[in-house]
Amino acid sequence: MHLPISRVRTIMKSTPDIENIGLPSLHVVTKATELFIQKLALDALRGQRTQKNLEYNDLARAVEENENMYFLREVLPKKITMAEYYKLVGKESSEEGDDNDNSSQTSHSSSSTSLSSEN
């Protein structure tokens, strides 16, 4: 095995519902974790143009393209540029309407007031 069993045991014990961990179950969970990591890495490598280095974007793409990895989409989101982020934020704020614009202006003015009163 390549993952340290003691580290896997520590992670498993961090769950409040687990009190005792038997050695056979520890080995099975460790091996399953190794196989999962191997599958994720191989999926990421398959989509690469050059197989020199495995990068974050390769992993994010593999998670996005594989339906079985859906649970990792929040952990490994696809990177976006700042311009794309501003477009998303602008679209969301325009969809929310004027109510949130007024509340955000109020919160900005109150925060600037609190900063000026501290000085």
DSSP H or E stretch at residue 65: helix 56-65
What is the residue-wise DSSP string for 20-35?
A: ---HHHHHHHHHHHHH
| Confidence (pLDDT) at 115 | 42
Per-residue pLDDT, averaged over 89-116, amounts to 52
Per-residue pLDDT, averaged over 98-114, amounts to 45
| Confidence (pLDDT) at 116 | 40
Q: How far apart are CA 119 and CA 116, in angstroms?
A: 5
| Confidence (pLDDT) at 109 | 42
What pTM value is reported for the model? 0.59
Instruction: Give the tens place of pLDDT for each residue, 8-30.
Output: 999 988 988 888 889 999 999 99
Q: How far apart are CA 107 and CA 104, in angstroms?
A: 5
The domain segmentation of the chain, as residue ranges, is: 5-72, 80-108
The architecture that CATH gives domain 5-72 is Orthogonal Bundle (1.10)
